[in-house]
Amino acid sequence: MLEFYSKAKLPTRFGEFEIYVFKNDENKDHAVLVHGDVKGKENVPVRIHSECLTGDVFGSMRCDCRDQLLTSLKYIGKQDYGMLIYLRQEGRGIGLLNKIRAYHLEDSGLDTVEANIEQGLPADNRTYTFATDVIKYFKIKSVQLMTNNPEKIKFLEDNGIKIVKRIPLIIEPTEFDKFYLETKKDKMGHLL
């Protein structure tokens, strides 16, 4: 269940947004950034972004998370309306402690999927229930989903969200994230 808690204006370098927070069953402080009026609209550009402290905040080059986040905000900020849902599910849902342990295993030669499995964890432990609830809360009729992840697309469609278009987020690989991106493509089916 989703319950509106508060909202505030959030001017950013990418445009004017409002930031919403909701109480939810997950007991996590997810954030929703809304640009323009999305209520009841069709074809709303939506990015569902999972938290990545190392990338989003510290600028780590081990992944493309920060680049995807910034690219999404730039794109949404140029549209008449759009939404970014920022989910607090660090490390594809395994948490910061396990993510850093996975990094250590990756430093020893494992890929991102193998590092999770070595710890007895799933390759991807995320859920998008909060995101589908938010889209329904705003009565959005259809979305243009900004993603490379086919599991995210499937989850939303299976939960009643109409996706009219996928907007790819193709980020030029670096020497630091090339193997990571290849693993996401080859082992997780990401559309890169």
| Cβ proximity of 41 and 155 under 8 Å | no
> What is the set of active-site residues?
124, 126
Q: How far apart are CA 122 and CA 75, in angstroms?
A: 32
| Cβ proximity of 149 and 168 under 8 Å | no
Distance of CA 38 to the CA centre of its chain: 19
SS3 content of the chain, % helix, strand, coil (to 5): 35, 25, 40
Q: How far apart are CA 143 and CA 40, in angstroms?
A: 11
Q: How far apart are CA 192 and CA 174, in angstroms?
A: 14
Q: How many helices (H) and strands (E) does the chain have?
A: 7, 7
Q: What six digits make up the tokens of 73? A: 């905000």
